[in-house]
Every structure is written in structure tokens, then in C-alpha cells.
């Protein structure tokens, strides 16, 4: 056994039995294979722990008993502790308190995963103490005080902290609420293992009073969407090796992951674009049909359209259209 403390990390599995439109293979089987690979690797290298930064499941309030059982079966093979936090997709209504009613909660109750919000996990070897703490997703994680990224310092040589939020290696983002890496400067953690944002982020060290905090956001283990970041991305797991000299990390591609060209339906991208154009045209038609007044809320605007409502485009859902129309009208209101 290595004299280094070893932690394997991956995030955002988004397990579901329902295949995303974008996938040509069985998404669920691919995800279970990845989780099995993480567990198998942990067993093989006799890791001290496996850490997952949330979104084990995909379907929020709709996670099924079968999906929970599938995950349980894979996790039951782990011979090392599996330390986790809840992502927003593991929760019902974005509420961490929903835990007892979720598939995630069943895995906790069965002792298959260890929920870090209940308390930290300590690893001790040759006098070295590593503490693993974690804070589950909550609404506002990337607003205000951003407390999730600032854990209470525990008695240890190194503290590794799990988070689930938009912690990004950028200064500007298309996402409204996010936390730039610099936003966690001063954290008491020595390493943050983050999940939530699916593209892989650069690993960087941010300043604190302890020689810096290593921020690692390896990206999602899953590739469920036809977004450009997924076109050539191979999902990776993180291996942390810790000794008295510090924390070293390597990123290692999942061996079972197939090239995106084999699992993503690229031709659907064009179809999706066409749907988007249709939606936009519809929203524009809606705007023309209304006597647009800045003071009206989107709901009032929609009500005002009444019978002049343009026809829904084919092959899009009514709810989608309404949402798009609201977004469009809101944007129009903001710029008027």
C-alpha cells in the first residue's frame, strides 16, 4: 500500500434510465459503467476514499425506485468509503431538506454513500490527517457570501472540500450567477473538488493563508447534451495523492468512455437549431400581435395576446413555447 493518502474523485453522473434525445447509445448503461469504473479503480488502487461532488441522479423529483436500485447495485461493490454531497439534481425542488424523500437519501440510509453535510470524514496515515468535508447544493450557492466554498477549518493537515456550484475558471460568463475562482480566495480548504458545471475547468491554485487552495472542477462524468464542450470532451476522474509535502492531482480519462462521435447524435444538432428558430419566430409573432407596453408583465402580455396567439410551431411542446415566449418578452421589456 502506498504511503500517500489517495482520494478518487468524479462528479455529475446524472444517472437516468430515460435516454436523452441527444444520445445514440444507452445513456443509463454508459453512466453505470462509469460509476462502476470509478468504484473498481478505487478498489483496485485501495484508495482511502471515493468522492462525488453531486448530481449522482438526473431526474430530481422523478428518480424511480429502479434507478435507485441500479445505483445501489454498483455502489455496493465499493470496498472503500464513498463520500458525497447532493447536487441540485439529487434534490426535490432544489431543497437539500428533501433528502429523506430522494433516491440519494435511500443510498445514504443504506450506508452505500456517506453524506458529508452530516459531518466530515477523516483519513489518518503515518501521523498525517486529511479531512474531507462537503456542502450540498443550495439555492444561492453562487450569490452573496458564497458560504459553501468557505468551510469551517477542521483539525487536520489537509482539508479537502466538496462543493456543487458554478465555480468557474473565467472572469465573465454567460451564466448569470457564478463564482469565479478568485471568489473563493481566502477559503480555509486546501483543495476544493467541485461539480455542477459540465465542461472541464482548468485546475488552479487560489490564494489563502495556507499556501493556496487547489480548485479542481474536472467536468461531468456524463455527456447528455449536444453542447459544443461535449463534442470532443472525454470525461475524466481526478486522483488526489496527499503526503506531508502536499496535495498532487492527476486527471484520468474514463476508460469505458467512448468518443462523443459514437454516442452523441450530431445530426440532431441541426434539428435543434431549426426548432430554436421556429420558437424565435413564434415569439416575434407574439410580440407583433400584442400592443406592447413596457409596464406589462410577461403573463399579462401573454393574456393580452388572447385569440391573436400565433399558431404553435410543429413538433414543439406548448410549455416550451410559452417559456420561450416569456423569455422573449422579458428580453424585449428589458431593452425597450
Site string for Mn ion, 92-131 (x = CB under 5 A): ----------------------------------------
CB count, 10 Å around CB of 270? 9
CB count, 10 Å around CB of 244? 11
Q: Which stretch binds Mn ion (CB under 5 A): 74-82, 94-102, 145-153, 191-199?
A: 191-199
Q: Are 242 and 219 in contact (CB under 8 A)?
A: no
Q: Are 313 and 279 in contact (CB under 8 A)?
A: yes
Q: Which stretch binds Mn ion (CB under 5 A): 36-44, 54-62, 91-99, 123-131?
A: 54-62
Identify the residue among 23, 34, 161, 196 touching Mn ion (CB under 5 A).
Answer: 196
Please say which residue, 88 or 230, places its beta carbon nearer to Mn ion: 88
Q: Which stretch binds Mn ion (CB under 5 A): 81-89, 167-175, 260-268, 301-309?
A: 81-89
Number of H helices, E strands in the chain: 8, 14
Q: Which stretch binds Mn ion (CB under 5 A): 40-48, 51-59, 61-69, 103-111?
A: 51-59
Q: Which stretch binds Mn ion (CB under 5 A): 50-58, 117-125, 126-134, 267-275?
A: 50-58
Identify the residue among 88, 159, 187, 194 touching Mn ion (CB under 5 A).
Answer: 88
The x, y and z cell numbers of residue 336, run together, are: 425597450
Q: According to DSSP H, which parts of the chain are helical? A: 27-44, 65-75, 103-109, 228-231, 260-263, 267-289, 298-305, 318-335
Q: Does 87 bind Mn ion (CB under 5 A)?
A: yes
Residue 89's SS3 state is helix
Give the nearest distance from C-beta 201 to Mn ion in angstroms.
Answer: 14
Site string for Mn ion, 298-327 (x = CB under 5 A): ------------------------------
110: which DSSP letter? Answer: T
Give the nearest distance from C-beta 190 to Mn ion in angstroms.
Answer: 24
Distance from the Cα of residue 223 to its chain's centroid = 11
Question: What is the sign, positive or negative, of the torsion defined by CA atoms of 329, 334, 335, 336?
Answer: positive
Site string for Mn ion, 142-181 (x = CB under 5 A): ----------------------------------------
**Cα(first)–Cα(last) distance of the chain, in Å?**
66
Q: Does 55 bind Mn ion (CB under 5 A)?
A: yes
Amino acid at each position: 500500500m502506498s504511503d500517500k493518502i489517495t482520494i478518487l474523485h468524479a462528479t455529475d453522473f446524472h444517472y437516468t434510465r430515460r435516454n436523452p434525445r441527444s444520445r445514440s447509445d444507452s445513456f443509463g448503461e454508459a453512466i453505470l459503467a462509469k460509476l462502476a469504473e470509478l468504484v473498481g479503480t478505487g478498489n483496485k488502487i485501495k484508495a482511502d476514499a471515493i468522492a462525488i461532488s453531486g448530481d449522482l441522479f438526473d431526474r430530481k423529483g422523478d428518480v424511480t425506485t429502479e434507478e435507485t436500485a441500479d445505483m445501489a447495485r454498483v455502489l455496493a461493490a465499493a470496498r472503500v468509503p464513498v463520500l458525497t454531497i447532493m447536487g441540485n439534481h439529487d434534490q426535490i425542488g432544489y431543497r437539500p431538506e428533501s433528502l429523506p424523500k430522494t433516491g440519494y437519501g435511500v443510498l445514504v440510509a443504506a450506508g452505500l454513500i456517506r453524506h458529508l453535510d452530516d459531518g466530515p470524514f477523516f483519513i489518518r496515515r503515518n501521523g498525517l490527517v486529511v479531512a474531507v468535508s462537503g456542502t450540498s447544493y443550495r439555492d444561492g450557492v453562487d450569490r452573496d457570501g458564497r458560504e459553501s466554498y468557505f468551510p469551517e477549518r477542521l483539525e487536520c493537515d489537509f482539508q479537502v472540500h466538496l462543493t456543487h456550484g458554478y465555480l468557474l475558471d473565467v472572469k465573465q460568463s454567460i451564466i448569470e450567477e457564478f463564482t469565479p475562482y478568485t471568489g473563493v480566495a481566502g477559503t480555509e480548504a486546501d483543495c476544493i473538488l467541485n461539480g455542477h458545471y459540465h465542461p472541464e475547468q482548468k485546475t488552479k491554485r487560489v490564494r489563502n493563508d495556507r499556501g493556496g487552495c487547489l480548485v479542481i472542477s474536472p467536468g461531468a462524468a456524463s455527456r447528455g447534451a449536444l453542447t459544443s464542450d461535449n463534442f470532443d470532451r472525454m470525461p475524466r476522474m481526478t486522483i488526489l495523492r496527499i503526503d506531508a509535502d502536499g496535495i498532487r492531482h492527476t486527471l484520468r480519462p474514463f476508460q469505458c468512455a467512448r468518443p462523443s462521435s459514437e454516442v452523441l447524435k450530431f445530426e440532431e444538432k441541426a434539428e435543434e437549431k431549426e426548432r430554436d428558430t421556429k420558437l424565435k419566430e413564434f415569439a416575434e409573432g407574439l410580440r407583433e400581435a400584442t400592443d406592447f407596453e413596457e409596464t406589462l408583465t410577461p403573463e399579462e402580455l401573454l393574456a393580452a395576446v388572447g385569440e391573436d396567439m400565433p399558431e404553435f410551431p410543429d413538433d414543439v411542446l406548448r410549455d416550451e413555447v410559452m417559456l420561450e415566449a416569456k423569455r422573449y418578452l422579458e428580453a424585449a421589456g428589458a431593452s425597450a
